[in-house]
Amino acid sequence: MSKTVIAKYSQNGEQFEIFVDSDLAYEYITGKRTDPMSALQVEGVFTDANKGEHAAQDKVKKAFGTNDLAKIVETILKHGNVPITTEQKNKLMEEKKKQIANIIARNSIDPRTNAPHPIQRIENAMANAKLQIDPFKGANEQVDAVVKKINIALPIKFATAKMEVTLPPEYANRCYGLLKQFGLKSEEWQSNGSLKATVEFPAGMQGEFFEKLNSITKGTAMTKNLV
């Protein structure tokens, strides 16, 4: 029990606590484990874990919307306060920064050039802004706050790319899966076997789309920006 810590979660003015293994909880938080129950050390939800005071079932249901222990443990590990080592916290924070930078890069462009920002450029802007990243908060939840902080030094515009793609007959079927992956909106098969399609995806993914499309078609595909 030497690695057992108390994870805490507050909701509706009530505090809920569970006993978890710090290493296993960290592995779940970072995605190395998929079962939240594997981190749980003592079955039960407490209002004061040290005193062994269990939380009332009705208060648990009100706070979590369920009495399913696995779902409760999942919520506490993902959104609560889980004691971890400084090394674990720093590593988790770096991983979260990379996730946020990746989300921004895939969904935005530089409004000055209409080209995507390289991830490294976004990471550098985040480092220069000396942002406070919450290691326990979801990456998507922190994107807006990060963009507001770095937008002065690094203009960012969230946009959608909409393109018309014309594929030669010999590559039409081979590219169909790629088109679906990148948001296939319409398709028009021609009598000669060629395909004219419309795709729509986050603007920051244009480079990835063209790279994959050209790799399959050897540069023979025709594209037209519709936005």
Tell me the CATH architecture of domain 4-79.
Answer: 2-Layer Sandwich (3.30)
**Candidates 3.40.605.10, 3.30.420.40, 3.30.70.240, 3.40.50.1100; correct CATH number of 160-225?**
3.30.70.240
pLDDT category, 3, cuts 50, 70, 90? Answer: confident
Fold of the domain built from segment(s) 86-157: Arc Repressor Mutant, subunit A (1.10.10)
What mean pLDDT is reported for the chain? 93
Which stretches within the chain are classed as H helix? 22-29, 57-64, 69-79, 86-107, 119-128, 139-150, 169-181, 206-217
Residue entry with tokens 């399913």: 68
**For residue range 120-145, what is the model confidence (pLDDT) as tens digits?**
999 999 999 988 888 878 899 999 99
pLDDT category, 2, cuts 50, 70, 90? Answer: low
**For residue range 202-224, what is the model confidence (pLDDT) as tens digits?**
999 998 999 999 999 999 999 99
Q: Nearest-CA neighbor of 4 among 32, 39, 28, 52? A: 39
